Amino acid sequence: MATGDRGHAQPHGDGHSHAEGHAHGEGEEMSELSEMALRVRALESILTEKDYVDPLALDRIVQAYETKIGPHIGAGVVALAWSNPDFKARLLANANEAIGAVTEVDTLESDLVVVENTAEVHNMVVCTLCSCYPWEVLGLPPTWYKSAPYRSRAVIDPRGVLGDFGVTLPDDREIRVWDSTAYQRFIVLPERPAGTEGWTAPQLEALVTRDSMIGTGLARQPGRADDDAGGVHDAAGDDAAGARPTP
Amino acid sequence: MSAVEPGAARDSVDAVPGIPCDAEGPVFREPWEGQAFAMALTLHQRGLFTWGEWAELLGDEIRRAQAGGDPDTGETYYRHWFNTLERVVAERGVTSRETLTSYRDAWEHAAHRTPHGKPIELVAADFGDSRGTVE
């Protein structure tokens, strides 16, 4: 039985050009799986044999989260709330119900709560314990959301974290940080940008960023290029400042 | 007051590209991360654990990793996720640590006999003298 010593795993050429990159001195090159890939395959085999999972269904879930489920769903909801006061009222009163009525989201795992940004209050969402996140409407969390620096600093120094994301708020703006749990998760309803009167929901939706629904960003300003709107675009990347190991 | 048209958000969602993918890159950096995520989702649906229990165990796993020197920058997140999953299935009697190990070793054996580029498949012989079986 082969030993599981990862240290001996021969790294494959990163070019993946097997045509000439590898000498064939000792016969055909055999496959190598990473330690994590081995363990995941092991569990999947066991669960499949015991009829706990169906590999095809697993693939469908992965695909759905990679392509279908993402922050565009949340952005659609926000745009609708901006353009329809009746919907907004229902969204703030009972987010699960309101979102369920206008999207295909039907597997809400726990209570969703929408918190509204206003001229007085800015809301920001974190999960200090692990990474509870409204998957169904925002897709999977960005790496920085799961990182220890963000999880700890968001509560202690929200203004500093916002600064890292390029967001500066007036001094008198109250910042509320919401700590998600497995039972209650939060989505921020960002402020509707000025100068968007009369815009349709699809037009508005293009202004809603993922980070603006987590509260580490603001909605894009109309007419500005992506990167001008207070670093929102930058902050969308996984290298965002929140992930920097600042104590 | 006009009622919300059902499907309005959905339609606009379908119509507008741009927001979801900007600078985000792939949701899963490696295929195993997606598989690990999907397995947890499925087992939750099967009632093996509640999300409350999951969050507690995952938080525990992350704290333990941090104490052991893991930088916890989010890059290792799905490792913690999968460690939690292994722990849950073992603790709840779905399978055992020994079985997990024997299947892991069998998959390694399968990989090492499969030429690069060919799909790797697990067969009974991969288990050698260990006791796991597959049909």
| Min Cα–Cα distance to chain B from A43, Å | 6
Are both B104 and B133 inside the same structural domain? yes
pTM, rounded to two decimals: 0.65
Domain boundaries, chain A: 33-68, 70-243
Chain A hits for B36, CB-CB cut-off 8 Å, are 40
| A33–B108 CB contact, under 8 Å | yes
What's residue B30's pLDDT? 80
Q: Is residue B7 part of a domain?
A: no
Query: What's the per-residue H, E or C state across B42-105?
Result: HHHHCCCCCHHHHHHHHHHHHHHHHHCCCCCCCCCHHHHHHHHHHHHHHHCCCCCHHHHHHHHH
Are both B133 and B88 inside the same structural domain? no
Q: Is residue B14 part of a domain?
A: no
Are both B87 and B131 inside the same structural domain? no
Residue of A45, A110, A127, A212 marked active site: A127
Q: How confident is the model at residue B27 (pLDDT cuts 50, 70, 90)?
A: low
| B128–A1 CB contact, under 8 Å | yes
- Is A132 known to be catalytic? yes
Which residue has better confidence, B2 or A132? A132
Q: Is residue B85 part of a domain?
A: yes
Residue of A17, A45, A130, A147 marked active site: A130
pLDDT tens-digit readout, A66-79: 777 889 999 999 99
| A4–B108 CB contact, under 8 Å | yes
Are both B60 and B73 inside the same structural domain? yes
| A1–B109 CB contact, under 8 Å | yes
Are both B118 and B87 inside the same structural domain? no
Q: Is residue B91 part of a domain?
A: yes
Are both B45 and B65 inside the same structural domain? yes
Chain B hits for A85, CB-CB cut-off 8 Å, are 1
Paired with A114 in beta bridges are A187
Residues lower than pLDDT 70 in chain A: 1-27, 106-110, 224-247
What's residue A49's pLDDT? 96
Q: At B25, list the tokens.
A: 């890159």
What's residue A106's pLDDT? 60
How far apart are the C-alpha atoms of B61 and A196, rounded to whole Å? Answer: 46
Structural domain of B84: 30-95
Q: At A135, list the tokens.
A: 């998957």
Q: Is residue B115 part of a domain?
A: yes
| CATH level 2 (architecture), domain A70-243 | Alpha-Beta Complex (3.90)
Q: Is residue B24 part of a domain?
A: no
Are both B46 and B88 inside the same structural domain? yes
Is a pLDDT exceeding 70 seen at residue B94?
yes
pLDDT tens-digit readout, A143-200: 889 888 899 999 999 999 999 999 999 999 999 999 998 788 999 999 999 999 999 9
Are both B34 and B89 inside the same structural domain? yes
Which residue has better confidence, B55 or B85? B85
Given a contact cutoff of 8 angstroms between Cβ atoms, the answer to whether B113 and A1 are in contact is no
Are both B91 and B107 inside the same structural domain? no
| Min Cα–Cα distance to chain B from A172, Å | 30
Are both B77 and B104 inside the same structural domain? no
Cα–Cα distances in angstroms (integers) from residue B70 to residues A148, A205, A224, B28, in the given order: 10, 38, 40, 20
Name the residue with tokens 């507008």.
B16
Are both B111 and B89 inside the same structural domain? no
Are both B108 and B127 inside the same structural domain? yes
| A46–B19 CB contact, under 8 Å | no
Number of separate domains in chain B: 2
